[in-house]
Structure 1
Amino acid sequence: MCAIAGIMTSDGQSALARILGKLVHRGPDNTAIWSDPDGAISLGCARLITTDPTRTAHQPFVTADGRFVLVFNGYIAGHRRKIADLVRDGADMQSQNDAELVLHLLARAVMAGDEIANTLGALSGQYALAFWDVRERSLWLARDPVGIKPLYVCHRSPTGDLAFASELAALGEGQSLRFDQTIRARYLAHLFVPASASGVMGIELLKPGSVICWQSGAITRSKIAHPAQNVSAKPTSFDRVSDLRQKVRQSVADAMDVDCALGCLVSGGLDSAGISAIACDIAREQGRDLPPAFVMGFDDPARDETDAARKLCDHLGQTLCIVRAPKTGEEIYDELIAGLGAVGAPFANPSIVLMQRLSSRVGQDVRVCLTGDGGDELFGGYPRYRAAFLYDRYWQYVPRPLRQGAARIGKWTGHRELVRFLSGGCDDLRSAFDVWNSRCAVPEFETELAGITDSLMQNGNLADQMMQFDRDVTLPGNQLVMSDRCGMAFGLEYRPPLLGHDVIRSAAVISATQHLRDGTKSVWRDVIEPHFPAGHLGNRKIGFNPSLADWLAKLGTYLWGDDDSILNAVFGETGLPKERQRMCWTRATSGRDADMALTVWALMVWKIWEMIDGPRGDILEHTRQKSPGQKSDRVVAADMA
């Protein structure tokens, strides 16, 4: 796992060295730059060693004839098997590094006239890469189709030249970044900024599966097919549970193929716990030490999963490290701005605070950590999928008066989407999809948010649509962003075996109806049940979430003091009347309205982002240098205002 970067400019080597200096946390073990003999381009890599620690495995990789050059961030599943196949086929491989494998495969594709996208589509893994053809003066940039690894591209008009890097902040080195205010509606709707927007003018976050080919200033684009596309239907006699179990086990084994310390995240739920259980089984089979487990602990018993995690680890024989969640306003703020600095854009999932804290501890013990990322999206784990399933089957046919009566009961839940769903505000698939996929709870913002998902919705029933939307948009823009940026801030690579391509294909042939029979994750439960202690499958789903009402109050007080100052800071530019502001704040901090709490949190994060000059790109470096207990300059300034 590495950071990659490149630049097209006459002083590329010195400029690239400065960019890589902003990425050394992603690759602390070795940094190297290759420059084209005529100075057209410089490519660089900061390497985190997870496989093949020898010098021959350092990047950038260059073919023996000097024609092709590659920098690569990620890993390829089953790379040792594929390398052995290439060697038998006559390839001159110098290492056991999966990056060199990709170099040879892409070189063969170009020389054979094959599409780069097709070659990459045959590989399972997580990656972002740059591939330069010295002879043809062509550059390819690509990102894996699931969206696990990032790649930011700066289009340096009017020359048509490019610069690219693994993180947005690195592209700010030596130039002024301008915040893109047009992203606000998308941010409020989703709590993050979906690709290809980055949050900064002139910089693109490649969408998952994107391939860019640059030649003489002209750009052509192609797409790596998502592994869930074009899957073949299976006969009714097909054993879906057995097939999925085999695919997951192989994916876990591939993810464990490392030459460094390996760990697992666990929880009281099913996804990370299932991966951890399978990893322990594989470790015993291979005669390896069991991977240590890590869990986030909360003081609030309603949110704490440490007891369930401890029972699971005792059952599996794993050691368990409990990492305590932030408690004070200052702790929350410090982790938040570190997370925002890592992402490089406004990001309102409060779990980034937890992920930042967790990663800082996990990274002290291991370099690679397995996660359960993707399980909810693949196997139907979110309660809204079950609601959508019921809508498809029953609710859309219920007369409006009966729906409105149910809504009068539902309003006491504090969930805006449930009330609108019940009340009859969802008379068609379009409106139901919008209600359940927009995270904003302030009606005054609905005009701004109107149509935000129009271009994202495809054909199909509501449950299938929600799962596809989350798989294609929310997962790469939300959870995978947190895992990559927070982990790599500490030289830690998170690997999600459930997002192996064969696992995705196996899950994709199972309909939402089958995933959601008997509740949620029905098929996945059958897959992992043999690994768990009695009772674990019955644990209530808690999720990786803080008490947001409590956090809002603590963070607001820490930054601005009294309620009036908080309202002025958070709502001052919204145009909402003061009484409406106060009502939103009261509901958000009451602990009874989760949607309003998320909306107000998003507004607060937006304000903090502006306050710390987010696009400037120095937040992460600043927070690393801050001594314990020392307030940041921005907080001091806020205190004095």
Structure 2
Amino acid sequence: MCGLAGATASGEQPRVHAALNALVHRGPDGEGCWSDPAGGVTLGVRRLITTDPGAAANQPLISPDGRFVLAFNGYIAGHRRRILSLREKGSVVESDSDAALVLAVLGNALRDGCDPAKPLADLSGQYAFALWDCALRQLWLGRDPIGIKPLYFSEYGSGNVAFASEVAALRCIIPAMPDRGVFPHYLAHLFVPAPATGFVDIRQLRPGELICWQNGKIDGRMIRPATCHRPDGEDAVADLRRAIRQSVADAMDADRNVGMLLSGGMDSGAIAAMACDVARERGQKPPPGFVMQFRDAGMDETPRARQLAKHLGTELHVVVAPDGPEEILAHLNDGLRAFGSPFGNPSVVLMQALGAAVSRHVPICLAGDGGDELFGGYPRYQAAAIFGAWQSVPGFIRRKMAGNIARLLPRGGARFVRGGQGDAQRAFQYWNDRCGLAELGARLVVPEDLSEGDLCDQMMAFDRRVTLPGNQLAMSDRCGMAYGLEYRVPLLGHDVMAIAGRVAARGHLREGAKSLLRAAIAQMMPDGYLRASKVGFNPPVADWLAKLGGLLWGREARIIEMLFADLPIRDRTRQDYWRRATRHGEQDMALGLWALIVWRIWQMHLATDRRAEIMRAKGSVDGSIKAVVQEVVQEKTVPKAAI
């Protein structure tokens, strides 16, 4: 994987180099920069070598005819097979890297006057790229259709464009003003949905978005992978098993060592079983596994991970979850710095700790991201599936039953019952609001074309298109690449996704969640493994809140004042929120207050960034977490929120 940065304006080389310096963690193995001799565009790359360590693969790559220059971040499944096929057809591909394949594919399409979105739709993998066409003086920016790899850009000056893999790097090229108007969306999602970023002047490419800049104007289109026909049930199971195995085999095709996350769940278990099978077929040692251990036995899946590792005959590394307040705050601060935008999922703390530990062993790690969204793993899908039957009960009976039913359901069950009191649109909004804080102005961003159809299908499509790329995939990318660790996600291969999509949402929920995936991998799992309930990767947010609030702001009254400043909530209600979140451990309240803490810390980062620029001019700056906390406690850096 790599870090990208560039700009179309003349004289931007120093700023592009500054951006690349901000991306060293994404590409610790080398740097390359190219500027158009005719003036204007500069493309830069920080490289993490995963395939083809030879000099011919160093980026930016230039096509043999000199017309195209490519800066590429990502990997393409089966790239060696595709390169061989291109060479057999007469194309000149000068290295065996994924980037060389993409350069050849895009170059062939543009020389023939074709839309480059079409050949890109045939490439399965994860990527972001910038391609400069020297002949037409066009800059193409693209992102994979799933949204696994990020790319940010900004229009500035007299019709110019700058881009980078991360917000912080792009801010080295162009100034950016905070966009506090994203707060309602952030509070509903716990992240800022694309194309917004938290900055007025910066956009992120949406998953599958391809844009072309020329002479100050931008034209956009979407990369849309082809779908497949719908087979019978038995064929779907066999097809899925083969597709996952091939996707895992492709993800393991690297010139560096590969590991795998082993959480104890079905998704990572499927990847691990296939990976060990592929390794043995190739005469290799099974990849090492990594699991996070929690102090609370009710949250810890280490025993299940050990059971599976023993069954598969692979080594297992145990990473202890952060627990102390200083450690939690340090990982949170690092994670927010990696994002550059508000990101309120508390699992970022765990993923930062995991990325740091895994990167000490391997530079590439397989993960089970996408399994819940593809195969129906979340409880809210089952709630959506029974919504119609629940709605057939007369309203006065539903209201009378709701309280009693909610008390009988596990944690979070009350939310499902409350969401089912209205129509399908209310249920959709209610069940997808991560914190349930509509009274604070939380508002979902929902694609317009998801407003019709079966509620269960809508829920799964929303997660695949909005929540998965904005939440889990973004977190894996930032928290891995912060340490030069590349996560690969075989369940999001094109063929796997196509097969999963051929089954209606309700079909995945037969005989419990993930029925299709369960059937595909059952014969590879140890006895009883698939019957155990999944715990989930959920941090103890209420405990963390109590620890972090005191560390940041001291007294409870001060904490409440900081979190709810400028929000239209009475003092008594604010105190009730804090009490319920930290003392009663209500999950929705805890997540909501965590999101507010993150929002405030993000504002502090903006304030310290401004001071750092001033201090650099004076030759002195301390951006450490201890310095930030010290200044916050001394009330020197607390910004007035403008929510």
Q: So what's the TM-score if we normalise by structure 1? A: 0.94
Change (3 A) 1:600 1:415: farther
SS at match of 1:333: helix
Q: Distance in 2 between matches of 1:219 and 1:21?
A: 28
Q: Distance in 1 between matches of 2:161 and 2:242?
A: 43
Q: Distance in 2 between matches of 1:415 and 1:574?
A: 31
Q: Distance in 1 between matches of 2:611 and 2:496?
A: 38
Letter in 1 for 2:396: P
SS at match of 1:66: coil
**Cα distance per residue 1:184-229 (max 9 Å; x no partner):** 00000111000000111111000000010111111111111155xx
1:30 aligns with 2:30: yes
Which residue in the other structure is 2:171 paired with? 172
Which residue in the other structure is 1:99 paired with? 99
Which residue in the other structure is 1:608 paired with? 601
SS at match of 1:604: helix
Change (3 A) 1:309 1:146: same
- Total equivalences in the alignment: 629
Q: Distance in 2 between matches of 1:353 and 1:531?
A: 32
Which residue in the other structure is 2:491 paired with? 498
SS at match of 1:364: coil
Which residue in the other structure is 2:548 paired with? 555
1:84 aligns with 2:84: yes
SS at match of 1:304: coil
1:308 aligns with 2:307: no
Q: Distance in 2 between matches of 1:362 and 1:591?
A: 34
Letter in 2 for 1:264: M
2:562 is aligned, of 553, 558, 569, to 569
Change (3 A) 1:592 1:268: same
1:330 aligns with 2:323: no
**Cα distance per residue 1:138-190 (max 9 Å; x no partner):** 11110000000000001114x11100000110011154331110000000011
1:406 aligns with 2:405: no
**Cα distance per residue 1:9-54 (max 9 Å; x no partner):** 2213222111111111101111011111112101111110000111
Which residue in the other structure is 1:427 paired with? 422
Q: Distance in 2 between matches of 1:237 and 1:497?
A: 22
Change (3 A) 1:618 1:175: farther
- Give percent identity, aligned residues only: 49
**Cα distance per residue 1:224-249 (max 9 Å; x no partner):** 1155xx54333x46511001101110
Which residue in the other structure is 2:469 paired with? 476
Q: Distance in 1 between matches of 2:492 and 2:149?
A: 12
**Cα distance per residue 1:55-82 (max 9 Å; x no partner):** 1111111111111111100000000000
**Cα distance per residue 1:230-285 (max 9 Å; x no partner):** 54333x46511001101110000000000001000011210012101110011011
1:439 is aligned, of 399, 412, 434, to 434
User: Is this contact kept in 1: 2:406–2:417, CA < 8 A?
Assistant: no
Change (3 A) 1:618 1:74: farther
Give the alignment's Cα RMSD to 1 decimal.
2.2
The Cα of 1:565 is off from its aligned counterpart by 1.5
Which residue in the other structure is 1:632 paired with? 626
Which residue in the other structure is 1:529 paired with? 522
SS at match of 1:568: helix
Q: Distance in 2 between matches of 1:178 and 1:523?
A: 47
Which residue in the other structure is 2:156 paired with? 156
Q: Distance in 1 between matches of 2:476 and 2:220?
A: 27
Change (3 A) 1:189 1:450: closer
Q: Distance in 1 between matches of 2:418 and 2:359?
A: 48
User: Is this contact kept in 2: 1:75–1:98, CA < 8 A?
Assistant: yes
1:106-145 maps to which residues of 2 (within 5 A)? 106-145=106-145
**Cα distance per residue 1:478-508 (max 9 Å; x no partner):** 0000010110010000000000011000100
Which residue in the other structure is 2:236 paired with? 240
Change (3 A) 1:614 1:354: farther
User: Is this contact kept in 2: 1:57–1:95, CA < 8 A?
Assistant: yes
1:579 aligns with 2:594: no
1:184 aligns with 2:167: no
The Cα of 1:93 is off from its aligned counterpart by 2.0
Structure 2 residue ranges without an equivalent (≥5):
616-620, 636-643
The Cα of 1:431 is off from its aligned counterpart by 1.1
Q: Distance in 1 between matches of 2:36 and 2:378?
A: 49
Which residue in the other structure is 2:363 paired with? 367
1:202-217 maps to which residues of 2 (within 5 A)? 202-217=201-216
